[in-house]
Amino acid sequence: MSLHIDHVVLWVEDPLRALEFYTQVIGLTSVRAEEFRAGKAPFPSVRLSETSILDLMSVSSAELLRKYTGEAKPSAAGRPINHVCLAMDRDEFDALAARLAAAGVAMHTKSNPSFGARGSTVHWFYFQDPDGNTLEARYYEGTQISS
C-alpha cells in the first residue's frame, strides 16, 4: 500500500499572520489566500508539494470541526500532534535556516542521527511557528527531494 499525506491542519490564532510566516519566512506558496481574504474560503493553506498542503485553520473553528472529527484525546505532550517534519534539499535547508534566523526564530538541534521516511540524517532542526506549532526541517545527504 502506498499512501501520501494530502493535508495537515495546524491550529493558529490568526490565519493571516500564520500565512505570512509560512510564505515569507519558510518560503511556501499560498493556496486560497485571496479567497480567504475575500471571505470565500474558511482558511488559507500553503503548499508543501504537488500533492500535499498545510491548512492554517483558526482555533475558533475547532468547535465546528469536532462534529466531524470527534474529540481529540489528550496526548502526553498536551497536544494532539508533536511536530510536522519538512524534508528538503540541502540548499533549501540552508536558505530556510537563514530566513528563520533573520526573522529571529529559535532553532534547536543536536548532532545525533534522527530517523525519518528516507532513513537517518544528522541534518535537522526544530523550530516553532508564531502559534507554537513545532516543525522540523531536515535534509538527507545525497537525496534529491522532488515535489
Q: State the Cα–Cα distance between residues 61 and 44, nearest whole angstrom.
A: 13
* 103 φ/ψ sector (left φ>0, alpha ψ -120 to 50, else beta): alpha
Residue 122 counted as domain residue: yes
Q: What is the domain extent for residue 47?
A: 7-138
More confident residue, 19 or 117: 19
Q: Which residue has the cell 505570512?
A: 20
Residue 114 counted as domain residue: yes
Residue 95, pLDDT above cutoff 70: yes
Is 30:77 a contact under the CB 8 Å cutoff?
no
Residue 145 counted as domain residue: no
The pairing of strands 7-12 and 52-58 is parallel
Is 16:91 a contact under the CB 8 Å cutoff?
no
- Mean pLDDT along residues 117-125: 91
Count of domains forming the chain? 1
Residue 147 counted as domain residue: no
Residue 2 counted as domain residue: no
Instruction: Categorize the per-residue pLDDT at 118 as very low, low, confident or very high, splitting at 50, 70 and 90.
Output: confident
Residue 77, pLDDT above cutoff 70: no
The pLDDT value recorded for residue 110 is 81
More confident residue, 100 or 115: 100
Mean pLDDT of the chain: 88
Q: State the Cα–Cα distance between residues 125 and 136, nearest whole angstrom.
A: 6
Amino acid making up residue 11: W
Whole-prediction pTM: 0.83
Q: CATH no. for residue 16?
A: 3.10.180.10
- In Å, what is the CA distance from 4 to each residue of 10, 49, 102, 117, 131? 18, 11, 32, 12, 26
Residue 143 counted as domain residue: no
Report percent pLDDT > 90 for the chain: 65
